[in-house]
Structure 1
Amino acid sequence: MENATGGLQSKYSELINAAKAGGVNNLQVREQDRVLYIDGEAPNGQTKDNLWSIYNRIDPDFRAGDLIMNINVASAVAGAQARVSTQTSNLNIRKGPGTDQPIVGKAAHNSNVTIINKTNDQWWLVRTEKGEEGYAYAQYLSVS
């Protein structure tokens, strides 16, 4: 078993260094009950996407459950509007880019969201009208 003190910080050192290099403001890294918490505010969506990409490379499919990353994008970041184009239901907004990620909010059918970054063809980083930020499945978003 890894040494609990600093073990997780060392495991995720690439992620922590990328957050520092990417200009994440109010960066806080703390370890509690064998879980590493990384909090802060990214200057743009690309920085947040990069951090999730590094996280997925270190811990494929986020299986270890030993990191909680709460990085939001600065609210001053301007973005295009997209309409939620689900059949009838709400669109889940997730913590990370994947259906295995916890739901952090919902966008109502036909409501608008602000696109912070088009992470990839499947997942876009968005902010709801209520200010909830997370990843939405791009198939259900129509850019106006």
Structure 2
Amino acid sequence: MRLVFLSALFWFAADQLSKWAVVHWMRLAEIGHIAVWPPFLNFHMGWNTGINFGLFSGSPDAMRWILIALAVSISAWILWWAKTGLTRPVALLSAGAIVGGALGNVLDRVIYGAVADFLNVSCCGIVNPFAFNLADIGIFLGAFGLLIFADAKKITT
């Protein structure tokens, strides 16, 4: 479980520190857009009150608390799974990435009422209109890691 907690702490801290640095210290919340390495990397401020790609944004404030409860419940379930069913180190690190990322976004929802998204990546003539954050990267990598590396229980007959 130590690997799960270290991974969760890493992703949570990286997410929150990056948000503080970019949103507040670099004043992205006021400026709105910073060209970092155009067109590949831009900081574009977005406050996501919904889920991925802004789905359910503009919903009543109750949705905020439902999403918080859902993220905490999924994180608790992943911690239980990591304790009772995961043994491979990469799977434990993946579980921690999901938990740390989810709790980073939960903290945003509690403090700001929305998730602070700022990373915008485009390439090869394709302009990406969406922004995301390091918590989202942790959640994605963690889900991918669990999909690939989670221990499969052998079924005996």
Interval containing the TM-score (normalised by the shorter chain): under 0.3
Whichever structure has more strand as a proportion of its residues is 1
Q: Please report the TM-score for the alignment, with normalisation by the length of structure 1.
A: 0.27
- Which of these two proteins has the greater Rg computed from alpha carbons? 2
Question: Which structure ranks higher in relative contact order (CA pairs < 8 Å, sequence separation ≥ 6)?
Answer: 2
> Structure 2 length as normaliser, TM-score?
0.26
Specify which structure has the higher proportion of helix.
2
